[in-house]
Structure 1
Amino acid sequence: MRHPPRLSALFTGAALVMASCAFAVMGTASGAAAAPLCTVEYSVVGQWAGGFQGAVTVTNNSSALNGWSLGFGFPAGQTVSQGWGAKWSQAGAAVTAVNEGWNATLGTGASVTAGFIASWSGANTAPSTFTLNGTPCNTDPGPTPTPTPTPTPTDPTDPPDPVSGAPVLSVTGNRLTDQNGATRRLLGVNRSGAEFMCVQGHGIFDGPVDDASVRAIADWEANTVRIPLNEECWLGLDNIKPEYRGTNYVEAVKGLVDRVLTHGMTPVVELHWTYGQYTGNSSGCADVHASCQKPMPDAQYTPAFWTSVANTFKNDQRIVFDLFNEPYPDRATSTTAQAWTCWRDGGTCPGIGYEVAGMQDLVDSVRATGARNLVLVPGIAYSNDLSQWLAHSPTDPTGNLAAAWHVYNFNTCSTEACWDATLAPVAARVPLVAGEIGENTCGHAFVDRVMAWFDARTLSYLGWTWNTWNCNSGPALITSYDGTPTSFGIGLRDHLRALN
């Protein structure tokens, strides 16, 4: 999001390939074949030269299990290199996925999803035979014996209870899940300031970020706070005043992150403003320094920024990384294809005069540190276009990527018809987080529609912004840091409270 005038100087070449081998379970009538004791849906989530990401969803149609083991064989020499959601092993063609401690219970009718990265060559033929604890899946089990009742202390079909406080978030299929396997949503606000105050020479944050002000966010029943950052201030470049750069800046950000966690909320640290001179279409400023939103991250400093941020926070996986605020290479390049290639691969991009760091570069920088934190990857057109996100998404060895999207009433994709056409397919495959939602009307009719669409699909959203600006010059949620809402913010506040 651009700020009010007082605040600113106003798989390489790979497309994701679906190879779904889903098995439907049909209801049975008298004389019909019985339902399989277990069913498995296998899919190739993404494929590139020599490798692919796969997923399996297992449904237990029999009695409850306390511990499970999925078995299948690869028919074309594929080899699993790593996985998540289960303990993966392979002997020859035979692959085994054994439950983790947190998802060992698999009740009657319950499902569990696990994912993996594997290599392939020649053909990537899907497996056709699966077993669950040795029992064949997706086949008629024959006559059903009379079961012996086994008392259980709790209903095994109940969904897992969410962990208390801020969770460690993982991607499970198209959901965000916590350590217990419970589905989670990121619902909250943005706390703007650290992206612009330091580069403008006014401080580090815009307004207080003490315990009382963070508690006021929690009082709205928010569970997430997104914190925009400035790469020059974090890295301590000498164009920033000494008191607002380097260690002073980093320690201030860490302090806010700690207070957000203390109040049980998820911190999302996000890169907002970056280095690199861009004066082309829709330029926010002519300055080479990180004083406005640039169309893409720069190769000179942004990978170093994410290496430093990831090293700072990698030992606490409750913290989420949001790679770049609002890419708009589509405004600089002449074709959408060029924009998406620039977005993913970086390098020399048409219309952008500096060397670009692509989304793959940034994912690689984070993962090279050993960080396994959830990473949010935005689209193009100021993060409002996800139409080719699935076809160009970066590869991640941890499988812990989610799509990030922004929407305001003045954006191109601001109707339910557009969301149905371009967002729904993404949300069906990966978790989707609306990192910024807002409107410039000082009302909340538009964000009410956004929240309704996202609620119906159990998706995440964060309001812009927890700052006391005039809501006519940019969406501002509050008039006071005690949490008093604007006429725009009251819509988000009341909605969050109604959800809890």
Structure 2
Amino acid sequence: MKHRVALVAAAAAGLLTTGAFVAVSTASAATTGCSATYTVVSQWQGGFQGGVSFTNLGDPLSSWKLEFTFPDAAQKVTQGWNATWSQSGSAVTAVNMSWNNSVPTNGSVSVGFIGSWGSSNASPSSFKVNGVTCTGSTTTTPPTTPPTTTPTTPPTTAPTTPPTTPPAGGAAPALRVSGNKIVTAAGTPYRLLGVNRSSAEFACVQGKTGVFDGPDPDQSTVDAMKAWHIHAVRIPINEQCWLGTYGTPSGSAYQTAVKNYANLLVANGINPIIDLHWTYGSYSGGGNGNCTDVNATCQKPMPDAQYAPQLWTSVATTFKGNNAVLFDLFNEPWPDNADGYASAANEWKCWRDGGTCGGITYQVAGMQSLVNAVRGAGATNVILLGGLAWSNDLTQWLTYKPTDSAGNLVAAWHVYNFNSCSNTSCWDSQIAPVAAQVPVVAGEIGQNSCAHDFIDQVMAWADAHNVGYLAWTWNPWGCSGGNVLIQSYDGTPTDSYGSGFKAHLLTVNP
């Protein structure tokens, strides 16, 4: 059974809000204490995602160890984050990482995990931090040895403890690829977790007012995202509107609006992903409904050779030197469907090399040519490349991976409940082998209902496999068609889909 919102544990009803910390000194009195919350973010048959958050109410800590015991012997932690996890029998231990070892007074830490369960999944009823049972109150311990001298002049102000970590906020990190992880400039692993902000792909060609539907993105709309702990925003764009060959606004006005939004996100600690969504090229085949317009008014099976390389040269020139911005070279390739699934080898060659492709009447720009366009402009930004079947198929992504002089390629994956690869068995066999070699980011996740049971499974699997994900979509379009996260741009979540995704982000994103 899926839980729609996080469950908070306390003794009588499986819900809990208590905690305590330890800080030891032999020369002065020590104050200990904390509050803590245990959550079940989502649950399914035999598995669940849980987390513990605690706030230090006592003296600053230089390290911490969290301990609790599951009520049932079948309950296990199978994968965790934000701590080093271990389990012996029913006893679970989470020890700080090097980057979150210090906890100042009133500072908080959140840790999360994927777990399994048997006949029941009751919540733990007691916690310890650094060996002290959590009580929800503070205790002051006298010094073990009295001071040998007394200051002759008391301090005029109370001493303060400087923060051990930078304050919240700051610019988004520059990112690069290292092995199968995206990392910061310092080499710290960094998962892209966030949302899509749709409309720049269609507003300019559908007679809307402005580049984005609704209000132009501003600080208040970004603050609403920050309240969800969103760390990445994918911005779909329109090829012709960017280049100024079609649409209103287009050209420099369109480019400035997209650039300003990306820069605003970076300034607020959020990594933008510029995504080429709608492109030029007349296509009359099957696979995407009525998409015969030669202009960029719909979603084509592959990028076109006429404009797409030019587009990416321009975008790369705009953002080169700012590696907090990432590039998603083409939203959802589907040359396989256009070709009638005649030859997987030919369809993957089309994906990489472009040219004349089965079922597509215009000349195709392959992914290699678009990578070359970005690098030829002097940009070393991380590049995302979606696979076949509307980016749901990564089975031969590694075989046909383009060459990249910067070594900064990421496999982009889209997964909805109606896709062919939409269960953990398929993800284990098709996506996990890719994620073992290169970073994988699910640039779109969603489900065609207002619930969140399917994306709960996606996120649990992705969390366990170091895969990033961005939900579709941060637009208040009504939830009747599913995949809509918010009721308004102030960040009010939709009742189930948005609320469930927000609750999960607050658990996994610091």
Q: TM-score, normalised by structure 1?
A: 0.66
Give the whole-Å Cα distance in 2 for the aligned partners of 1:350 and 1:459. Answer: 32
Once the two structures are superposed, what CA deviation does each residue of 1:192-227 show, in whole Å capped at 9, x if it has no partner? 010000011213102221110111011100100100
The answer on whether the counterparts of 2:204 and 2:241 sit within 8 Å (CA) in structure 1 is yes
The answer on whether the counterparts of 1:340 and 1:388 sit within 8 Å (CA) in structure 2 is yes
Change (3 A) 1:163 1:441: closer
Corresponding residue number in structure 1 for 2:232: 224
The answer on whether the counterparts of 1:162 and 1:178 sit within 8 Å (CA) in structure 2 is no
**What is the 5 A alignment of 1:213-362?**
213-237=221-245, 239-241=246-248, 244-284=249-289, 285-333=291-339, 334-362=342-370
Any idea what SS the aligned residue of 2:262 has?
A: helix
Give the whole-Å Cα distance in 2 for the aligned partners of 1:362 and 1:482. Answer: 36
Give the whole-Å Cα distance in 2 for the aligned partners of 1:224 and 1:283. Answer: 28
Which shifted more, 251-260 or 427-436? Answer: 251-260
Corresponding residue number in structure 1 for 2:450: 442
Q: Does 1:205 align with 2:225?
A: no
Q: Does 1:429 align with 2:437?
A: yes
The answer on whether the counterparts of 1:432 and 1:460 sit within 8 Å (CA) in structure 2 is yes
User: How much does 1:473 deviate?
Assistant: 2.1
Corresponding residue number in structure 2 for 1:495: 504
The answer on whether the counterparts of 1:440 and 1:471 sit within 8 Å (CA) in structure 2 is no
Any idea what SS the aligned residue of 2:364 has?
A: coil
Corresponding residue number in structure 1 for 2:179: 173
Change (3 A) 1:272 1:446: same
Amino acid aligned to 2:270: M
Change (3 A) 1:299 1:474: farther
Corresponding residue number in structure 2 for 1:397: 405
Amino acid aligned to 1:332: A
The answer on whether the counterparts of 1:163 and 1:179 sit within 8 Å (CA) in structure 2 is no
Match of 2:425 among 414, 417, 442: 417
Amino acid aligned to 2:394: L
User: How much does 1:170 deviate?
Assistant: 0.9
Amino acid aligned to 1:169: L
Corresponding residue number in structure 2 for 1:119: none
User: How much does 1:163 deviate?
Assistant: 11
**What is the 5 A alignment of 1:92-107?**
none
Match of 1:188 among 184, 194, 198: 194
User: What is the number of residues matched between the two proteins?
Assistant: 337
Any idea what SS the aligned residue of 1:381 has?
A: helix
The answer on whether the counterparts of 1:162 and 1:180 sit within 8 Å (CA) in structure 2 is no
Give the whole-Å Cα distance in 2 for the aligned partners of 1:315 and 1:236. Answer: 24
Once the two structures are superposed, what CA deviation does each residue of 1:91-141 show, in whole Å capped at 9, x if it has no partner? xxxxxxxxxxxxxxxxxxxxxxxxxxxxxxxxxxxxxxxxxxxxxxxxxxx
Once the two structures are superposed, what CA deviation does each residue of 1:40-94 show, in whole Å capped at 9, x if it has no partner? xxxxxxxxxxxxxxxxxxxxxxxxxxxxxxxxxxxxxxxxxxxxxxxxxxxxxxx
User: How much does 1:472 deviate?
Assistant: 2.3
List alignment gaps of at least 5 residues for structure 2.
Answer: 1-166
Instruction: Percent identity, please.
Output: 57
Give the whole-Å Cα distance in 2 for the aligned partners of 1:193 and 1:323. Answer: 17
Give the whole-Å Cα distance in 1 for the aligned partners of 2:344 and 2:310. Answer: 28
Match of 2:393 among 374, 379, 385: 385
User: How much does 1:317 deviate?
Assistant: 1.0
Give the whole-Å Cα distance in 2 for the aligned partners of 1:347 and 1:471. Answer: 40
Once the two structures are superposed, what CA deviation does each residue of 1:155-176 show, in whole Å capped at 9, x if it has no partner? xxxxxx9996411111110011
Change (3 A) 1:411 1:396: same
Any idea what SS the aligned residue of 1:220 has?
A: coil
The answer on whether the counterparts of 1:444 and 1:488 sit within 8 Å (CA) in structure 2 is yes
Q: Does 1:476 align with 2:479?
A: no
The answer on whether the counterparts of 1:270 and 1:321 sit within 8 Å (CA) in structure 2 is yes
Give the whole-Å Cα distance in 2 for the aligned partners of 1:471 and 1:275. Answer: 30
Give the whole-Å Cα distance in 2 for the aligned partners of 1:301 and 1:336. Answer: 26
**What is the 5 A alignment of 1:8-47?**
none
Corresponding residue number in structure 1 for 2:372: 364
The answer on whether the counterparts of 2:302 and 2:334 sit within 8 Å (CA) in structure 1 is yes
User: How much does 1:303 deviate?
Assistant: 0.3
Amino acid aligned to 2:305: A
Q: TM-score, normalised by structure 2?
A: 0.65
Give the whole-Å Cα distance in 1 for the aligned partners of 2:332 and 2:398. Answer: 17
CA-based RMSD = 1.5
Amino acid aligned to 1:485: P
Computing the radius of gyration from Cα coordinates, the structure with the larger value is: 2
Any idea what SS the aligned residue of 1:475 has?
A: coil
